[in-house]
Amino acid sequence: MKKTWPVIWLSAGLFPTWVQADVQLYGKINLAFETIAAKGAKDGRDIESMQRVTSNLSYIGFRGSEDLGNGLSAIWQVEQDINPDECRQCGFANRNSYVGLKGQWGRLLAGRHDIYWTSHIPGMDRRIISTGIAGSILSLFGTFGGYAPRADRPTAPLTGGRAPNVLRYETPSWYGVSSTLSFSTAEKQGVSQSDPWAVQGELDYKDAKLAANVVWLESRDSNGFLGSGYTHYPPSMTVEGTRSRAVKAVAMYHFGSGTVLGVGFERLETRFPEGKVSRNAYGVHLGQTLSPAAYMGVHLGQADDVESHVSGGATTQDTGARFISLIGSYSLSKRTLLFAEYARILNDSNAAYTFVSTANLNDSTVGRVAGKGADPRTLMVGINHTF
């Protein structure tokens, strides 16, 4: 349930008392107890089994609008990560945060916004976002699995991201079809006086049974990682003359028996001045509603070996991976859900795919980084509450 108060409730130093728009408080707290490890590294750099409490993308946000008349509204949102367990990635307005206008013609926004990386959720990860993020197909999608053709030519750890400096236009839905166009530019130049920027186009379809999405991302002077929590693109990801392109297509169909089937495909390309690297990946989700409260599902994924045309670059042999996750959930109410999840990545000997975001078990600050070939795996039970 989302809470709404007149802004006058917040007027003690935050907003003028005469503002008439409403403020809506919303969010999610998702915590799980898990056993996690990564074993089988070819250089012996395994991560032994350990237990922890993990926050699965918990957040809190505020949003509001003001009626400007003639069907036009001013809209705004400020959203940030929270981690009730241990807040390392938190920061005010570090999630989708913007101001803009809304009318019959759609929405026009300026601020920070997701680009590319979350577009697949309706077609692949709709159930996962309420359980453990380790089970997401993002364990394979959006990354080259740590491959770099040269030490000074890193590939994206996550294609797209929660990009800063975004202008975004969203069309209204027309017979279930809608689209978006986003542009992101760096606030500061990167190394070698590069001037990174990115543009995304997205097409969506949704009706009672089918959800489908196709998204395309083009970035210049960047390896495709647009940053999260940065005021400009990270310097290590900006290389003058680099061009990255990503295409992703997903679809999920709901059968009348309560069965859902989702499929997805992604292709990543990064063109360095010395040559191109690319990678294809695939995903499938099969799920079954067991009762109005209970759901079970399985994710399967595969990332092919990287292809490289960089002369003298690192080997691309055995740079692929497979992925599986199993989830079970039970809703106690419309806002509270219990879940159990198992996820595992099966890396080839030269691959280093790992769980995304807060599910990642690597921590370079304490020297805990799994070597190539290690297989991350997790078993967790948790609770998800939205408000």
Angstrom distance (rounded) from CA 16 to CA 14: 7
Single out the residue of 86, 52, 117, 92 nearest to residue 266, CA to CA.
117
Tens-digit pLDDT profile for residues 21-69: 578 999 999 999 999 999 999 999 999 999 999 999 899 999 999 999 9
Both tokens of 165, joined, read: 């400096």
Both tokens of 161, joined, read: 């991201």
Q: What percent of the chain has pLDDT over 90?
A: 67
Residue whose pair of structure tokens reads 């990543």 in the numeric block: 268
175's torsion region: left (phi>0), alpha (psi -120 to 50) or beta?
left
Question: What pLDDT, on a 0 to 100 scale, did the predictor assign at position 7?
Answer: 44
Residue 198 has pLDDT above 70, yes or no: yes
pTM score: 0.88
Q: What percent of the chain has pLDDT over 70?
A: 88
Backbone φ and ψ for 134, nearest 5 degrees, come out as: -60, -25
Which SS3 state, helix, strand or coil, does residue 318 take?
coil
Mean pLDDT, the chain, whole residue set: 88
Tens-digit pLDDT profile for residues 270-298: 999 889 999 999 999 999 999 999 999 99
DSSP assignment string, 149-184: SBTTBPPPSSSBEEEEEEEEEEPPPBTTEEEEEEEE
Question: What pLDDT, on a 0 to 100 scale, did the predictor assign at position 2?
Answer: 55
Question: What pLDDT, on a 0 to 100 scale, did the predictor assign at position 230?
Answer: 38
Residue 9 has pLDDT above 50, yes or no: no
Question: What pLDDT, on a 0 to 100 scale, did the predictor assign at position 305?
Answer: 98
Residue type, 291: S
Could you tell me which residue, 122 or 222, shows the higher pLDDT?
122
Question: What pLDDT, on a 0 to 100 scale, did the predictor assign at position 188?
Answer: 54
Specify the CATH architecture of the domain 3-386. Answer: Beta Barrel (2.40)
Angle at Cα 63 formed by Cα 60 and Cα 66, nearest 5°?
Answer: 170
Lowest-confidence segment of 20-24, 73-77, 240-244, 349-353 by average pLDDT? 20-24
Angstrom distance (rounded) from CA 121 to CA 147: 25
Residue 4 has pLDDT above 60, yes or no: no
* CB-CB contact of 148 with 72 (8 Å): no
Tens-digit pLDDT profile for residues 292-324: 999 999 999 999 999 999 988 899 999 999 999
Question: What pLDDT, on a 0 to 100 scale, did the predictor assign at position 233?
Answer: 44
Q: What is the mean pLDDT of residues 119-141?
A: 91
